[in-house]
């Protein structure tokens, strides 16, 4: 995958800004809040740009995402 550069992508900047508070956001929250469509692709691109993002499944069909700080990322990787 060719990830867009965070400093050149307004789309990724909007998603990163939304996730910056560390709260959990559903896919729909991100679609509406950041004005993007392919949330999973945006998350993958943020990760490729070095921004740690966690994903969790809530129920059968709902996913939520949040940005991790450095300490959270180390704990999650263990």
Please state the pTM of the whole predicted model. 0.84
Q: How does pLDDT run across 6-65, given as a tens digit for each residue?
A: 999 999 999 999 999 999 999 999 999 999 999 999 999 999 999 999 999 999 999 999
Q: What is the pLDDT of residue 13?
A: 97
3-state secondary structure the chain: CCCCCHHHCHHHHHHHHHHCCCCCEEHHHHHHHHCCCCHHHHHHHHHHCCCCEEEEEECCCEEEEEECCHHHHHHHHC
Work out the burial of residue 72: count CB atoms within 10 Å of its CB; fewer than 13 is exposed, 13-18 middle, 19 or more buried: middle
Res 78: pLDDT: 57
Query: pLDDT tier at 2 (50, 70, 90 boundaries)?
Result: confident
Residue 74 in this model has a pLDDT that exceeds 60: no
């Amino acid at each position: 995958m060719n990830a867009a550069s965070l400093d050149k992508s307004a789309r990724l900047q909007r998603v990163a800004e939304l996730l910056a508070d560390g709260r959990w956001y559903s896919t729909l929250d991100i679609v509406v809040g950041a004005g993007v469509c392919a949330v999973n692709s945006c998350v993958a691109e943020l990760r490729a740009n070095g921004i740690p993002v966690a994903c969790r499944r809530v129920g059968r069909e709902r996913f939520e995402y949040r940005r991790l700080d450095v300490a959270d990322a180390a704990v999650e990787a263990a």
